[in-house]
Structure 1
Amino acid sequence: MELTFLAGASLVAALIVLLIGYITFRRAYRVAAPNEALVITGRAPARVKGGDIDLESGTRIVVGSRAFVRPLFDRAHSVSLSSRQINVEVESQSVDGIFLRLQAVAQVKIGEEVGEIRKAAQRFLDQQDKIDSYSQEILSGALRAVVGTLTVTAVLQDRTTFALKVQENAVDSMNNQGLVIDTLQIISVADDGDYLRNLGRPEASKKEQEARIAESEARRTSTEAENRDSQKIAESQKELDLRNATIAKETAEQRAEAEAAQELARSRQRQQVLDEQQKIADQENDLRERELVREIRKPADAQEYAAGRQADAERYAREQESKAALIEAQNEAESVRARGVAEADATRAKGEADAASIQANAEAYQQFNEAAVLSQVLEALPGIAREIAAPMSNIDSLSIVSSDGESKLSQNVSAGMARTMESVQSATGLDIKSLIESALSGRDRSETVANVASQVDAEPEATDVPSEKPAE
């Protein structure tokens, strides 16, 4: 068991040692990036002839390569070789006394040479962010110095030369710090007044005039060329149209001739076909005629003969039937005549009897006096009262709203009869009321009226009067 524990402890220790060794190796093995320079220090400086110490020999510079940094003995420092954009704005006076404002942009970086990297590391290793401000100051001074030696025209017309002079003026100061200027461009040049604007106006006016003249000349030349081209195009189009018209005419004539020839050939072919069809039709007609003679005419002749014989037989039968019908009609006419004479005699006898009856009634009516007429009227009054009261028999339940009670029904019937007698008087001229009054003169009027009223009242009682319901 102790052996197992020792073996495990040894394995863990070995793993720890390997891990420490791997971490140490990873930290000691350094590879420089493309935009980076490694400054490795820690080696002892070498001595040169004369006993002096070479301080640079103790520093190694690694650019775009790899190096092994000894743990506990060496230290590696990173220096960026990336380009930096420096914006420069200065105000300076030119040699001809014009105050100018200039803007420029420069691309500055640490040089790629070992010596330049060593100089930059000695000056900016711990303050690389100060490179921008330092470069800006150097370039501003160089820009002022160069502007003071040039005229405004030189600055404006040859900016490339101006930028090169600024670089030449600043290159020594930059190189002493391990810095190099990749590019320098003048962005703008301005002044406080209108000097720069007026400076270019004569030249601008001249150029504008030349441009207008050149433009006018070019427009005139272009117009003339266009006109000539248009004329040539029109002439060419005319020739083309004439040629197309000639070709179209010839084509139309040839097409018409071809169509006429084709139509003539088709007409001849159709005529030949018609002739052949006519011959075939004639042959078919002859054949059909012979077939009709065989199939129709001969059977028709036989049928005609048979029809004639049948018609003779039917005619004879009809003649016989007509004779029999004539004899029967004559017998029927004699019978009808006899019945008519008998019916006429009976009708005449009946009419004579009716006439005698009517004559007797008329003579009897002429002999009627007022008493007989009154008797007939009194016989008719109950029927009239019955017809007046008939609508009440169709009423199931009747409510009378009156203080008179049931006597109102009799009064209504009496009123209806009075209106009926008035209607008879207006239609026939017979005054039933006057007739009754004249018949009752000399007698007890009250007794007669009571008798008449009793007769009138007796008739409604015989009819079916609906049950009366007192008004609520």
Structure 2
Amino acid sequence: MDFISGNISVVAIVVAVVIVVALLSFVASRVRRVPPNEALIVVGRGAERSEGGGISSPQKVIIGGRTFVWPIFQEGFKLSLEQYQTPVEVQAIDANYIRTAVKATVNFKVTGTEDGVRRAAQRYLLQQQQLPVIVQQSLEGSIRGLIGGQPVDDLVKNFSRLAADAVNETKGELAELGLQIETMNIREIETPGSTYLADRGRAEAAVAKQNADVAEAEAERIAALARIGNTQQTAERQLQLDVRQAQIKAETDRANAEASAAGELARATQDKLVAEQESIAVAEQAKVNQERLNIDVRQPAEAAAYAAVQNAEAERDAANAAVEAEAFRRTQLADAARAAAENEAAAVEAAGRAEAAAIKAKGLAEAEAVDALAEAQGKFGQAALASQVISRLPEIAREMAAPMGNIDALTVVSTDGANELTKSVANNMTQLQDVVKATTGLDLVSALGGFLGGRAGASDAPSAHVTTPRDSA
């Protein structure tokens, strides 16, 4: 039992769901949605609507909305609110009995109000395709009346007035039908079977052509006069331009000449300034060269001359000092020799003192000789040079004989025997004279002779004044 009762419950639920779904589908199918370009007219029970004055309308009009249409009791019909377009061609006799044809295009639609929809639905709900024909017939009658009431010339002159009059005359009639004209355009007006408009056109064209020819001739005359005047003005302007150009050229040439002269003058002035500057520069360069000559040549020459003078004086003083030192040394040696004969101890003491004094005198003399060498060389010349060379002869002879003195054993192969060695030494001394003369230009023999002569005189003079120990004794 439980199983059966459970199955019954499930079946009941399924049936209920199916019923609900079917009901919803039915309700949805009866809801009518109306787009803006359509009107829905609902008729039947419950569709009545009260209007002003207590009048009840058996139709309900929905424009651009939605509504529920009860099945069985109500039914809905659609009416298009879109615009229609239709051509209108009318032929009629005008006021001058000329057949006239008018071709126009009309745009119209069902009036978008509830009253207009009801009026159109009452008449054309199931014959909406007949609406263009109805509008054509209404406009044809109106246009025929307008054509007959005025000449074709007036119709041709004002298309828009003809269209407006036709619309105004048919507006009330079409409003009763639930229709309204949006626009009406007159495309063409003709006179079929005659050349009236063409003739009028030719006449007007002839007048227009005549007027155009006259206007063209006048324009050409004016243009010719203008060209002549323009040519004259151009010639006058050209003349003025030529005169002005000549004046400008003359002024330009004068300015160029002045500028050229000024340029030449400026160049001459500049050249003068440049020459002056170059002269100053040359003078300054001469001064610089003079200073450079003084620095590079004259001052070194003066310095060299001064040095030569100082060297000559130094050599002279050195020679004098050497002579005096030598004389003093010899005097002391002589005194020592004489004293040695009387008393050896005294002689030795005297010789020691004399030697010390000689060494001291020689050192002082050499020091003074170094300082006075430059001055002595300048003053004594060859004599000082000879003195220096002669004073160095013992050293030179000693150096020349040194190689032979270092020989341990010497074998002389000569017919002269041992005398060959003496000749060799003498020969070296002879060659020494030639070497000195070749290198210094000094004749050693002549200088030595003069020096010995001078020494002899000098030794005689001081010897008279020297007092020896023996004489004092």
TM-score interval, normalised by the smaller of the two chains = 0.3 to 0.5
TM-score (normalised: structure 2): 0.47
TM-score (normalised: structure 1): 0.47
